[in-house]
Amino acid sequence: MGLPIAQVLAPDGRLVGEHDFTLDDLRGFHRDLVLARRIDTESFALQRHGELGLWPPMLGQEAAQIGSGRALQPADFVFPSYREHAVSWCRGIDPAKLLGMFRGTSLGGWDPAEYNYALPAIVIGAQTLHAVGYGIGTMLEGKSEAVVTYFGDGATSQGDTNEAFVWAASYNAPVVFFCQNNQYAISVPLERQTKVPIAQRAAGFGFEGVRVDGNDVLAVHQVTSQALRKARDGQGPTLIEAITYRMGAHTTSDDPSRYRDRHEGDDWAARDPLLRLRLHLSEIDSGFADFDEAVQAEAEQLGEHLREVCQNLPDPDLADLFAHVYAEEPDELIAQSQEVASWS
Amino acid sequence: MELSIAKALNAGLRAAMEADPKVVLLGEDIGRLGGVFRVTDGLQKDFGEHRVMDTPLAESALVGASVGLTYRGFRPVVEIQFDGFVYPAYDQIVSQVARLRARSEGLVSVPMVIRIPFGGGIGAVEHHSESPEAQFVMTAGLKVVSPSNANDAYWMIQQAIAADDPIVFLEPKQRYWDSATITDEPALGLHESRVVRAGDDVTVLAYGPTVKTCLQAAEETEDSLEVIDLRTLSPLDLEPVYESVRRTGRAVVVHEAAKTLGLGAELAARITQECFYSLEAPVQRVTGYDLPYPPCRVEHDHLPSVERVLDAVDLAKEF
Amino acid sequence: MSEFRLPDVGEGLTEAEIVTWRVAVGDEVKINDVLVDIETAKSIVELPSPYAGRVAELLVSEGQTVAVGTAIVRIGSASEDSASEDSAGEDASAEGAALESVKSVVEEPAPAKPPAVLVGYGPSERKRRTRTGRTQSVSASSVRVLAKPPVRKLAKDLGVDLASVSADGPVVTRTDVLRHREQPPTAATSRPVTGVRKATAAAMTASALIPQVTEWVTIDVTETMNLVDRLKVDRQFESVKVSATLIAAKAICLALARTPDLHARWAEDAIDFPQSVGLGIAAATERGLVVPVVPDADRLSLVELGRTIDELVATARAGKLQPAQMSGGTFTLTNVGVFGIDGGTPILPPGQSGILALGQVAKRPWVVGDDVVPRLVTTLAVSFDHRVADGEQASRFLRDVADLLEDPARAFTF
């Protein structure tokens, strides 16, 4: 049984499918991919500088995130995991806002309502249930908005995720389940999580599953747009499996050399999402070199911005955190925060 | 031989697996990777994939499937990767693991060990620094222990695996890299507490990561502190504690878990019950605050520190 | 000059080994160029440079293991380097050219600030805090004495050292502490004013502002004492302590019915008459003078009055009176006779307008008819609030009480 893997742009930069993107659209994708990669690599470096406690890199997954992120309409709500740095970029969140959580100065970083983008979920799969509930909520209001939730291959084993599939099917909820199958859950390979392609599991629950080359930003955008349209039209959930590869480690605390072959990475490097679009644009866009130079300069500035903000993120005062635990602060907590404040 | 807690656990697991072929390890990333803290490093290579299993990413299934294994006569050692991820498994633990013996009127055994790295102080993101021990201590049918040092870790993991009751084994992750000498024989049983530093003025009770904090405090003060490592949280071994408090008249409990309904509350009630006439002061508690664990840049303001322990000692003495 | 300190690269690692330096002294580095490979308990990790500039000094050698937070390399900024002479003897002109061409926008060295140290791990790195909200303690004696917490508090309040108290049993009790306190001091000492003593002083001081006058009369109470003897063997009064005090209490109630002014209350521009008699009975206890109140005393039978008085006095002596039991008094009876005293000028208790002192009952020579015979005689003294009543009312009241005690049968006429 083979679900076809949607693809428009092959690794060597050739078009192998139809699309109706303009040149400006393609340039826009290129810029997004480059800046997204810079956000990721700069933040990784900041961890190695000692400025962040942790960073989960999304290196290699830029196309899956930019392609889907750019397909969203502003009113669509997103429930991410903790690795969707490029999706947050599409939502208009200053990437510096991602850093507090990993530096340890904050447990979040932005107001979800401002960006229609929930705070990152560290507990695996939890966000899928949130997304389904939100989707059901929009239906109760008679609205035509879609909800997207991002998760990895590992999350498809969690009970919460499977329960989310059941509910989404049962309620015909307008949820796009976007799975970035990056082949690993820390060290555990895909085969341990599922015996069939992830997208195929949707059929078992009663809705449509779609596979896409996750490193092809154009195909990802198409597939996601379609699923979103379907959701808004009241035709229910879709499971998108974006096949990609986690080029980096699970996080900065991980050492992939202990469980995977380094040449595996080489194969995937040839399928790099930035590379294929660069090759394509170099072919069809005569002004690409100048455009790219400007983009690289923008990336440098973005890197500097991230470093600047990160190094100056203020530590919170523990005493101030007590007021954020409840809408109405109980006396015991007021007393405890005063006790904290008595220490200096 | 000197080993870190992480390596001592590794050696203890190895010894247990060599002693009994029914001992199997399950967890996420424990096989090929050797565990995110390397506690199971090398074990899959030596014992095979059928005894050291990398499982799908599903905590409830980890514990639930292990229940099934115990029915079949195995002795599973389950690793929950971080304390904050035990909650999906909580239902299986309290509804099944804790109850099967009672439900079967003693016929069914659940000789399972659930290993959980717990506690904070490692500069981590959310969900990686929790202290959920009270939720297991209050669950009848479970036993709960926590080694504070490498020697206890080495012997207690083996004793826990050999026990026929389900045991939640809490490993202080902040101390994984602290080393100690491993003795040739275990000095204590699994469910015994220990006076780790004798003293006359104030009794200080701790377990897991705070034992070291209390020993540091004892070094720094002129007061003579008697520090007791509880080691076993359920069942508690409190006779040494009572004997100590009857002498000193003052007790301070130190734990990372939040103040309200933490183990300190239980210990205060019991000490007051048994040592009422001896008490010069109410039992003091030095604990995490009643907050969700804060962002790591301020976690040391939240966790019990040497100065907060000594402040509580002073307070106890002022009565 | 910037120092790069070894960060914690993986959730709580404490140290790492320097495996391979990827730069040498004198090398130009940009931000994020790899400086060194380190090995931790978990893995081998590349460390990128947080600073741009020239490598000035490698502070740790390959193969060395250092703790997180240790400075491992120093990197000079472009402007510093152009002024310094201590480059490591490489090709100076090439270096200089490279420095010149450094783009200030990107290669600008990190601003002067504390060196990069990772958050969160290593208690030794953390600044110690001090408590501002509490005072330092004074160490108490650590003699091991067994006593319940409330007794400890009592001892502390009274300034008694528990260790010096001799106890009847293994545990020092309240009684032990109070008994210890009664012992006369052997040297000039002072005692802190607390508890009942303090309350009494305040009440008496307030009372001194009220214009009060005392009248007295000496009477033959032989008939009352005969009545007392009869009642003592009466079955109805089995559980009651019958004494002159009880008869006097009843007499007061009857007399107040006729002259209620003596227990009315001054309220500035009004005088309030209570509905019933709240009869205070002054009692001397270990803690001092307390005045429990019999509520609605005028509505009680003699035996009920007796029982209530007994209970209240017993409770008072045990030190267990509740505040409610000491409130609502409208008139007080104080028996100074138990101390062997004839009478005095009793001071009005707070909120009351009359108080009667009953003196000792003793055999005295008395005129009966024309003979002088020994009779049981006592003195009654009443103090009253002269704002509320005059000598006439007070005298009538006192005379009524006296009449009843001289001839209890007169109660029939009240």
**Over 80: is that where the pLDDT of C185 sits?**
no
Which domain CATH number covers C59? 2.40.50.100
Check whether residue C11 and residue C45 sit in a common domain. yes
CA B156 to chain C, closest CA, distance in angstroms equals 23
For residue C133, being part of any structural domain is answered with no
Check whether residue C188 and residue C204 sit in a common domain. no
For residue C136, being part of any structural domain is answered with no
State chain A's mean pLDDT as an integer: 95
- Listed residues C20, C44, C76: the one ending a domain: C76
C12: nearest CB among B123, B315, B318: B123
B neighbours by CB contacts (3+ pairs under 8 Å): A, C
CA B44 to chain A, closest CA, distance in angstroms equals 12
For residue C67, being part of any structural domain is answered with yes
Q: What total of structural domains would you count in chain C?
A: 3
User: Which residues from chain B sit within 8 angstroms of residue A196, using beta carbons?
Assistant: none
Check whether residue C387 and residue C332 sit in a common domain. yes
% of chain C surpassing 90 pLDDT: 55
For residue C125, being part of any structural domain is answered with no
Establish if B33 touches chain A: CB-CB under 8 angstroms. Answer: yes
CB contact (8 A) between residue C131 and residue B311: yes
Establish if B242 touches chain A: CB-CB under 8 angstroms. Answer: no
- To test the contact with chain B by mutation, choose from A259, A264, A329, A337 the residue with the greatest count of B C-beta atoms within 10 A, namely A259
Burial string for B196-206 (b: 16+ CB within 10 Å, else e) reads: bbebebbbbbb
Q: How confident is the model at residue B46 (pLDDT cuts 50, 70, 90)?
A: very high
Tens-digit pLDDT profile for residues C322-355 = 888 999 999 999 999 989 999 999 999 988 999 9
**Over 90: is that where the pLDDT of B248 sits?**
yes
Check whether residue C246 and residue C349 sit in a common domain. yes
Q: How high is the pLDDT of residue C44?
A: 82
Check whether residue C217 and residue C176 sit in a common domain. no
**The pairing of beta strand C354-358 with beta strand C331-335:** parallel
**Over 50: is that where the pLDDT of C112 sits?**
no
From the CA atom positions of chain B, what is the Rg in Å? 19
- Listed residues C157, C192, C227: the one ending a domain: C192
C neighbours by CB contacts (3+ pairs under 8 Å): A, B
* Beta bridge mates, B286: B254
- C157/B104 Cα distance (integer angstroms): 59
CB contact (8 A) between residue A50 and residue C116: yes
CB contact (8 A) between residue C140 and residue B318: yes
CA C40 to chain centre: 57
For residue C258, being part of any structural domain is answered with yes
Tens-digit pLDDT profile for residues B119-145 = 999 999 999 999 999 999 999 999 999
C118: nearest CB among A53, A255, A257: A53
Check whether residue C163 and residue C295 sit in a common domain. no
Q: How confident is the model at residue C110 (pLDDT cuts 50, 70, 90)?
A: very low
- Listed residues C161, C177, C192: the one ending a domain: C192
Tokens at A97, concatenated: 């806002």
Tens-digit pLDDT profile for residues A205-263 = 999 999 999 999 999 999 999 999 999 999 999 999 999 999 999 999 998 999 999 88
State chain C's mean pLDDT as an integer: 83
Check whether residue C205 and residue C289 sit in a common domain. yes
Annotated catalytic residues of C are: 386
Check whether residue C59 and residue C176 sit in a common domain. no
CB contact (8 A) between residue B58 and residue A333: no
In a 10 Å sphere around its CB, with 0-12 CB exposed, 13-18 middle and 19+ buried, how is residue C14 labelled? Answer: middle
User: Which residues from chain A sit within 8 angstroms of residue B299, using beta carbons?
Assistant: 104
Tokens at C383, concatenated: 């103090």
Which domain CATH number covers C167? 4.10.320.10
**Over 50: is that where the pLDDT of B200 sits?**
yes
Q: How confident is the model at residue C154 (pLDDT cuts 50, 70, 90)?
A: confident
For residue C93, being part of any structural domain is answered with no
CB contact (8 A) between residue C47 and residue A54: no
**Over 90: is that where the pLDDT of C100 sits?**
no
Which domain CATH number covers C354? 3.30.559.10
Q: How high is the pLDDT of residue C136?
A: 38
CA B229 to chain A, closest CA, distance in angstroms equals 26
- To test the contact with chain B by mutation, choose from C39, C42, C134 the residue with the greatest count of B C-beta atoms within 10 A, namely C42
- C299/C304 Cα distance (integer angstroms): 9
Q: How confident is the model at residue C184 (pLDDT cuts 50, 70, 90)?
A: low
Q: How high is the pLDDT of residue A332?
A: 86
**Over 90: is that where the pLDDT of C317 sits?**
no
> Residue A309 contacts by C-beta under 8 Å, 6 or more apart in sequence?
A96, A99
User: Which residues from chain B sit within 8 angstroms of residue A332, using beta carbons?
Assistant: 260, 290
User: Which residues from chain B sit within 8 angstroms of residue C153, using beta carbons?
Assistant: none
Q: How confident is the model at residue C79 (pLDDT cuts 50, 70, 90)?
A: low
Q: How confident is the model at residue C59 (pLDDT cuts 50, 70, 90)?
A: very high
Check whether residue C244 and residue C345 sit in a common domain. yes
State the Cα torsion A78-A84-A86-A90 to the nearest 10°.
10
Q: How high is the pLDDT of residue C196?
A: 77
Q: How confident is the model at residue C134 (pLDDT cuts 50, 70, 90)?
A: low
Q: How high is the pLDDT of residue C142?
A: 39
Tens-digit pLDDT profile for residues B249-284 = 999 999 999 999 999 999 999 999 999 888 889 999
Check whether residue C335 and residue C409 sit in a common domain. yes
A58-72, C8-22, C298-312: segment of lowest average pLDDT: C8-22
- C100/C108 Cα distance (integer angstroms): 12
C12: nearest CB among B122, B247, B317: B122
| A215 in Cβ contact with A269 (< 8 Å) | no
CA C85 to chain A, closest CA, distance in angstroms equals 28
Range of the domain at C313: 197-413
User: Which residues from chain B sit within 8 angstroms of residue A159, using beta carbons?
Assistant: 58, 60-61, 88
Tokens at A149, concatenated: 């939730």
Q: How high is the pLDDT of residue A31?
A: 98
CB contact (8 A) between residue A49 and residue C50: yes
C132: nearest CB among A45, A311, A342: A342
Q: Which residue has the tokens 């008697």?
A: B226
**Over 80: is that where the pLDDT of B288 sits?**
yes
For residue C104, being part of any structural domain is answered with no
User: Which residues from chain C sit within 8 angstroms of residue B38, using beta carbons?
Assistant: 41-42
For residue C226, being part of any structural domain is answered with yes
**Over 90: is that where the pLDDT of A77 sits?**
yes
**CA nearest to B122 within chain C:** C12
User: C198 versus C55: which is more confidently predicted?
Assistant: C55
Q: What is the mean pLDDT of residues A288-298?
A: 98
Q: How high is the pLDDT of residue C115?
A: 27
User: Phi/psi of residue B175, each to 5°?
Assistant: -105, 10
Q: How high is the pLDDT of residue B43?
A: 98
CB contact (8 A) between residue C32 and residue A304: no
* Nearest residue to A13 via CA among A329, A310, A284, A292: A284
C7: nearest CB among A42, A48, A257: A48
Q: What is the mean pLDDT of residues C16-43?
A: 91
Check whether residue C168 and residue C249 sit in a common domain. no
> Residue A149 contacts by C-beta under 8 Å, 6 or more apart in sequence?
A78, A79, A80, A127, A128, A130, A131, A164, A175, A176, A177, A178
Q: Mark whether A250 is an active-site residue.
A: yes
Q: How many CB atoms lie within 10 A of CB C121?
A: 27
User: Which residues from chain B sit within 8 angstroms of residue A185, using beta carbons?
Assistant: 28-29, 57
B63-77, B299-313, C78-92, C189-203: segment of lowest average pLDDT: C78-92
B277: nearest CB among C130, C131, C171: C171
Q: How high is the pLDDT of residue C90?
A: 38
CA C153 to chain B, closest CA, distance in angstroms equals 9
* Nearest residue to C193 via CA among C157, C162, C164, C165: C157
Q: How high is the pLDDT of residue C93?
A: 39
> What is residue A254's DSSP assignment?
-
**Over 60: is that where the pLDDT of C99 sits?**
no
Check whether residue C216 and residue C188 sit in a common domain. no
CA A120 to chain C, closest CA, distance in angstroms equals 19
By three-state DSSP, how is residue A245 classified? coil
Q: How high is the pLDDT of residue B236?
A: 95
